[in-house]
Amino acid sequence: MIWQIELIILVLVVLFGFGALATKDLLSAAILFGAYSFLLCLLWAIMGAVDVAFTEASVGAGVSTVLIVSAVLRTTRRTDH
Amino acid sequence: MKITGLISLIFIGGLLFYGALDFPPWGDPTSPASSHLSPYYIEHSIKDTSVPNVVTAVLADYRGYDTMFETIVIFTAGIVCIFLLRSFKEKAPESRMYRHIPTGIILRIEKGGKVPHESEYFEHIDSVWIPYDLVIRTTCRMIIPFIQVFALYVIAHGHHSPGGGFQGGVIMGASFVLFAIGFNLRSAIKQMSEKIVAFICALGVLIYAGTGVLCMFFKANYLDYSALAPLLRTDPVTARSHGILIVEIGVGMAVMAVMVVLYYNLSSAGKHDEGL
């Protein structure tokens, strides 16, 4: 695997992780979390753990994002303070 | 308070990184994990179970207990979600919205008002109104069968390619979630009621645990699928392969049902009435 691509993905994973924690808008945090999961799935695939990557793609990037969004719709969209 | 939190976070995170420095490097063939256990699995899994995908063989056969309790953890999560969120007391909502289909007029009926029956003239719509687009409905209707076939393929083909019960079950559950989003929550519940979902959830765990008990009836250890050979009319090696498929189906059913239960309860705040 080309190490430049790995480095870019790793940096993006960390950025999206911090972004999901830092944003006040919960809906964008949910989407950022989905992007974080998807990039993590790419990292698993690079390391050869294809089964784990598949699980991460379906559970982390797929269903859990939908569950978080549906939970956000039942509360206020922004975190205050 | 914030400062102490930050300091303790940095301290514990630094400790974690310091501990991680002692790990063997990634892919090191001389690390303890790769020098004792992994070679056995890689050399024997095809001889023992005739399953080409070593990960599936380890998950469902050599480490069958782990996977069974993982399934039970997911099952418990579904039950807890029902207990925490589901509100069984029917409380009349503030107002309901109905659409008169022939004219397209939308009626808002206050609490205590006379509610029309669901028929070809009146349609109950969500008060947080989501316009039901024809394009979205048609796309969902066309795409859902393919998603479900793919989910079954992932479960059944876990022996040969990445996949298995967990992933297939999640994809299957996602197809029901897509149906609920494309149409509405009530029509999804009409297709697959809460009781059926809970039943499938418990049945999946029962299939897994029951397979283990069935092995004990043939005088073998719990979850030793080779004992099922007389029942499946095959040799013990193929019986282990088939046993893996049986428990994967159980896992898939439980996971699918839990995903659907979580979505039903989260999106409607436990009322199963109006939701995303």
Mean pLDDT confidence for A50-59: 91
Q: Do A66 and B177 touch (CB under 8 A)?
A: yes
Q: Do A66 and B174 touch (CB under 8 A)?
A: yes
In the predicted structure, residue A81 carries a pLDDT above the cut 60: no
- Tell me how crowded residue B239 is: count the other CB atoms within 10 A of its CB: 24
Q: Measured between beta carbons, which residues in chain A are less than 8 angstroms from residue B267?
A: 70, 73-74
Of the candidates B261, B139, B176, B171, which has an alpha carbon nearest to the alpha carbon of residue A55? B171
Sign of the dihedral through C-alpha B138, B187, B132, A35: negative
Whole-number pLDDT of residue B33: 77
Q: Is residue A9 part of a domain?
A: no
Q: Is residue A19 part of a domain?
A: no
Measured CA to CA, the distance from residue B12 to residue B18 in angstroms comes to 10
Q: Which residues pair with B125 in a beta bridge?
A: B97
Collapsing DSSP to helix, strand or coil, B30 comes out as coil
**Residue ranges of domains in chain B:** 47-89+130-267
Whole-number pLDDT of residue B131: 62
Residue B26 touches chain A, beta carbons under 8 Å = yes
Mean pLDDT per 10-residue segment, chain B (276 residues): 89 93 82 83 86 88 90 93 84 75 78 74 72 82 94 90 89 92 83 90 93 88 85 86 91 93 86 73
Q: Is residue A16 part of a domain?
A: no
Report the number of distinct structural domains present in chain A: 1
Residue B38 touches chain A, beta carbons under 8 Å = no
B89-137 pLDDT per residue, tens: 777 677 777 777 778 787 787 777 777 777 777 777 777 656 667 888 8
Measured CA to CA, the distance from residue B98 to residue B107 in angstroms comes to 5
Q: Which domain holds residue A29?
A: 24-75
Nearest CA in chain B to A53: B162
Q: Average pLDDT of chain A? A: 88
Measured CA to CA, the distance from residue B24 to residue B40 in angstroms comes to 20
Residue A14 touches chain B, beta carbons under 8 Å = no
Whole-number pLDDT of residue B128: 67
Q: Is residue A43 part of a domain?
A: yes
Q: Is residue A30 part of a domain?
A: yes
CB B208 within 8 A of CB B215: no
- Token pair, residue B124, equals 């109950």
Q: Average pLDDT of chain B? A: 86
Whole-number pLDDT of residue B200: 93
Of B26, B166, B263, nearest to A66 by CB-CB distance is: B263
Measured CA to CA, the distance from residue A44 to residue A37 in angstroms comes to 10
Whole-number pLDDT of residue B99: 78
- The residue ranking higher by pLDDT, A65 or B99, is A65
Whole-number pLDDT of residue B276: 67
In the predicted structure, residue A80 carries a pLDDT above the cut 70: no
Whole-number pLDDT of residue B73: 94
Q: Measured between beta carbons, which residues in chain B are less than 8 angstroms from residue A58?
A: 167, 170-171, 174
Q: What is the pTM of this model?
A: 0.86
Whole-number pLDDT of residue A34: 92
State the best of B1, B6, B150, B171 to mutate against chain A, taking most chain A CBs within 10 Å: B171
Q: Is residue A57 part of a domain?
A: yes
State the best of B262, B268, B271, B274 to mutate against chain A, taking most chain A CBs within 10 Å: B262
